[in-house]
Amino acid sequence: MIPTIVVTYTPRYSGCHRICFKTTGAEYCCYQDDSPSVINTAKTVEILLSDYVDCLVDIPTDLPTCDVAVTVTGYIQPCCSDINSNQNKVLFVTPFPETTPCTSYFVECSDPDCGTFTVTDCNGEDDGTEYELRSDPGSVTYISVCSGGDGPIGAGYSITFAETSCCVCKLYQVTVISPIDIYYTDCNQTIDVISVSDDPVGVTVCAAENSVWPVNKTDNDFILSITEVGDCIPND
């Protein structure tokens, strides 16, 4: 989940505007929008909430499902107006995080000759990256991915809806006997890649449930363990 709120407004004045917002806190945090403003022409501003950790904005670090959101209330006001007055304030309400159309799928290789598969992201777009699994005994035969649009597509694979959530992340420790790269679905619901050395400690990743697997299917032989070791904070 990206800690961002998106505000669209139509300026009634040229020049800068302040966008002030809060959740459960009593005080407002304020962002100054210095980008060009054209009167009566709508504009969209994205605000990173992580920039306001010292402000009284209460954003939870863990949300149980994509359907749970926090209400962010605020107002837009031209900078030329006194910040302590109600002059020219336009109120807004927006949810955080925005709900996404992502669904969790199991991608299972049931054929030794499985080819590659592709995954549309949570915006329904496919960047053409090809992934693969294999069905050899003892190997990773299925993986969970978060996908929008028509979901994953691949010849030789069984692709079904998964009961796991795209939004719940766990901390996984990955140890290997030889350096390899692994894929995992992060808490932004995108597939990332990370290198793992043969250090006994391995690496830990904050990933969606059942979403860690080797980049190259032959590297299954080098994975010693993929172990869930607890909860993690989204975006770790």
Mean per-residue pLDDT over the chain, rounded: 83
Domain endpoint, select from 51, 79, 96: 96
189-205 burial code (b ≥16 CB/10 A, e <16) = bebeeeebeeeeebeeb
- Radius of gyration of the chain, Cα coordinates, nearest whole angstrom: 22
On whether both 149 and 211 belong to a single domain, the answer is yes
Q: Flag whether pLDDT at 98 surpasses 70.
A: no
Whether residue 100 is predicted with pLDDT greater than 70 in this model: the reply is no
pLDDT top residue among 168 and 152: 152
The model's pLDDT over 63-97, given as tens digits with 9 standing for 90+, comes to 444 555 667 889 999 999 998 898 889 998 876 65
Is residue 132 domain-shared with residue 89, that is, in the same domain?
no
* Domain residue limits at 132: 103-231
Q: At 51, is the pLDDT very low, low, confident or very high (cuts 50, 70, 90)?
A: confident
Share of the chain above pLDDT 70, in %: 86
In a domain, residue 162? The reply is yes
For residue 217, is it within any domain? Answer: yes
Regarding whether 118 and 80 lie in a shared domain, the answer is: no
pTM of this structure: 0.60
| Span 197-232, pLDDT tens digits | 998 889 999 898 889 999 987 888 898 899 998 877
